[in-house]
A and B are shown apart, each in its own frame.
Chain A
Amino acid sequence: MLYSSTGTYAAISRAVLRGTLAGIDEVNADANSPIGFRPVVRDPGGEIDRYAPLCDDILANSGARHIFGCVTSSSRKEVIPTLDRTNAMLWYNLPFEGFETSNRVIYNHACANQHLLPLLSWCFGSFGAKPYLIGSNYIWGWETCRVARMRTEEANGQVLGERYLPLGEENIATLIAEIESLRPDFILNSLVGASSYAFLRAYAELGRRDPHFSCDSCPVVSCNLTEAELPLLGEAAEGLVSVGPHFCPQACPEGRDSSFEIISRQSVHTLASMLAVQGDRPFEKFIAERGAGFGIDPATHHSTLSVNVAQVRRGVFEVLHHWADVPPDPYLTRPKRHPGISRPRLSVVS
């Protein structure tokens, strides 16, 4: 396990770590499974330059060949050269922006055609095509906003503003003032961790001051908000919109059972059943030949997933729109795999 249990996105790390460890316990407790796991845990503490050395350390000193790790794309990109050199695998269980299909990574969560595109399509239909874009200042925020900008222009909309905050930045007064004066149709939030929590609390406060900024007329939508962070947000979570392959249908203590946690748990089971029949073949060759049987697309190492747009109502995500079985398109080159909402065409009658 290579997750940061401290640092700005620790709540997310704890969810994936909890899911992975639960999966390991279940596999180890299964008398029918020929596979048992011994977890080796390293904690980079949210510092980007500690990921590659700790990945090296795991592979060199523990005999582990499979790493469950990394929350941010930046940290994933840090460890890929080590994985390439040592032929080890990374199981990456978070949504990401796509544009990567490393032979050494299994991407179990959603890529942009499974989160951002359907979310935007739903927002354009429900609120309008004048978004305000905010994100943390690294590749997840940049690429999410870039795709959102292109889609908005294609929908004949207009991006009213686009701002990036450094990871961990909590000073958001200027941002709130700008949103208040621009009055967008909705806000796409790709901030992570502390910045996101600070922004969402301040935005809830703005909504109490000015009814335009309520979840019914100008919601905050995100591709990376799950149950795992609801306890940290409290009341400020009410009305937030998110998108994901799974939402827990009832209130979960400590934000348990998020898609991060569930996909992490499932991925351990997938690994166990693959190892049970892998034989002598190298793992990447095994995926190429048999991956599809385990839900992993051999071409992209991604999965076909459900897509749900959901809103927090009384502390629980309520699904508002559902698409079943959306195949992955990590490079956004296959429009047939882009779920949308067909809307009646409106015309002006004079």
Chain B
Amino acid sequence: MTIQEWWWQVYELTLASLKSRYRKTLTGMLWVVANPLLMFGVQSLVFKKFLRLDVPDYYLFLLGGLLPWIFITQTIQMSTPTFVNYTQLMKSFKIHPHVLIYSQILDNFVNFIITFVIVLIPAYFFYGMSFTHLILIPLPLLSLIIAVTAISAILSTLNVFFRDINFILGFCFSLLFFLTPIFYPIEFMPAEYRWMVNLNPLYHLITPMRDIVYGKIENDFFVHLGKSYTVALGSSLISIGYWKLKRNDLYARL
């Protein structure tokens, strides 16, 4: 298949799944956006007002970390059962299974962008965010989407062999949520624990994004960006290798 043919398939699948989810209504759209907004509302209430974390511009700080975190975890959890869900289709005739993953990711990405814009517009006016910073957003977004796609493809394949992956994944994400500096800055962590963060690929995907939203673009922004692209590249390579290795078993076990 050429890239164009890939794109036609992914595009039409995505369009169809958006359609089937929202049935073209605005209410359906609101439903999807409500989840991250509520999450954000509750967390900012608890951490800022109740626990009184001492972080300047806390809302912006939380927003920059939480939105990508929700995108990553939700997308991965939604994509993991993809191959199992499409068993019949995948066995009926030849399609490239990754097409199904890509459309699932694109679908979630559209939601993410909508949520992001809805939240960012008020933040932009309240906090006077710098427009030149915001222009940089596609850079971390690209690495984020590449990494999430690769991880989803790996896990969706793994899920064919071990059907309880998604269940375990949900559990792991809820543990990781506390161990990843999202609602608190990494400086709150004692130095002897920081290795955990350095080994956490999700953290590296989130930081450059937060640098931009939080308006903290300094020299290390490009270091952060480099790390996030390293994660994206690494997971892509693993994903390609794993697909080559497991392709026959995948079809046999579906």
A, B co-complexed: no
- Residues on A facing B (Cβ under 8 Å): none
- Residues on B facing A (Cβ under 8 Å): none
